[in-house]
Homo-oligomer: A and B are copies of this chain.
Amino acid sequence: MNTPETSGRRAVTATELFDRVEAILLKAGLHPVQAAAVTRVIVAAEADDCKSHGVYRIEGVLRTIEAGKVKADAEPALMPDEKPTIVRVNANGGFSNASFELGAPLLADRAKEYGMAALVINDCTHFAALWPEIEFLTALGVAAMAMCPSYATVAPAGGRYPLLGTNPFAFGWPRKNGNPYVFDFATSVVARGEVELLRRAGKKLPDGWAVDPDGQPTNDPEAALAGALLPFGGHKGSAISTMIELLAGIMIGDLTSSESLEQLGSTTLSPSHGELIIAFSPEAFADHRGRNPFSRAEALFEAIAGQGARLPSERRFAARANSEKHGLILDDTEFETLTRLEAASARR
């Protein structure tokens, strides 16, 4: 990362990358609020060397638009209050990102006013990592938990068929100085993409990743892709993934992973479903207890790092520091992707 000039890797400024990606998405017909919000995630991902949500994802976004599986011209709408702790945004079939940006400041305000609050995003096509959302909220001084279904690729522990999604679960805690405490992980052992990468490389899967179509453990990527991934942590991870289907699918009146796959008919486009984000005001919960929750949390983080364990997201934050110094590092393939998509845009 410190030698961006080697092996076809070059730097680009965040502003330049933002402008290029946004222009491609606008040309593809994405509403300006959607284009800007999706672009922010892609640029943030590249800044953090988090390639799974970076430039390579642009084509998936375009494919999803072309397949008519997202309403490109949709504007998100804040729904009337039903309950004071539930901020609800309807994406109206657009990508989730602009809906998050519309609802998040209000979510933080409500959490501070009421102690805790939820942001429900409904009727969205989901293109997002959860950590940029968590970091947006921790920057506003609230702790936050986020979760959503995906599409069915994971069997429940002890089962045989895909029913659950890779269902990400994320959490963040604000830190007054520096980067927040943030984790964001799939509740499957791995993402489906990692199985696909091993298939292409002709490699075997490690034990415990997947079952074949008969529900038997398999190390064969083909059999795994025809069968199902497994949740992380056995029945415990499976239970958490099921909780996510219940809270962030069924409870919020939106699709489960199984329904999302049925509606989409493919695992190569962005899935449709909702998302649930819960925010907590640490000051409100700690009130009258006479101890500062933020300084106490620092002591906990020091005790973790001080024994050689890593805090989550450390790798991303190191990449971000590097990007701030040297620019965002893309490789030749990524630059070619941008140039090719720009040329295709110009022919529209």
Known contacts A83-B284, A171-B239, A236-B237; can you find 16 more A-B pairs with CB under 8 A? A86-B285, A115-B118, A156-B307, A158-B309, A160-B307, A169-B240, A185-B235, A215-B308, A232-B234, A232-B237, A233-B234, A233-B236, A239-B312, A242-B300, A253-B287, A253-B289
Q: List 13 A-B contacts (CB under 8 A).
A: A82-B284, A82-B288, A84-B114, A85-B85, A85-B117, A120-B285, A156-B309, A159-B307, A173-B243, A181-B242, A245-B300, A250-B286, A251-B282
In the complex, chain B residues whose CB is within 8 Å of the CB of A79: 288
A99 contacts chain B at the CB level, 8 A cutoff: no
Question: Which A residues form the contact surface with B (CB < 8 A)?
Answer: 79, 82-86, 113-118, 120, 122, 143, 145, 155-161, 163, 169, 171, 173, 181, 183, 185, 187, 215, 232-240, 242-243, 245-247, 250-254, 256, 258, 278, 280-282, 284-291, 293, 296-297, 300, 303-304, 307-310, 312
Query: Given A251-B280, A304-B242, A309-B238 in contact, is the A114-B291 Cβ separation under 8 Å?
Result: no
Interface of A is mostly: mixed
In the complex, chain B residues whose CB is within 8 Å of the CB of A160: 307-308
Query: Given A181-B246, A232-B233, A291-B253 in contact, is the A163-B85 Cβ separation under 8 Å?
Result: no
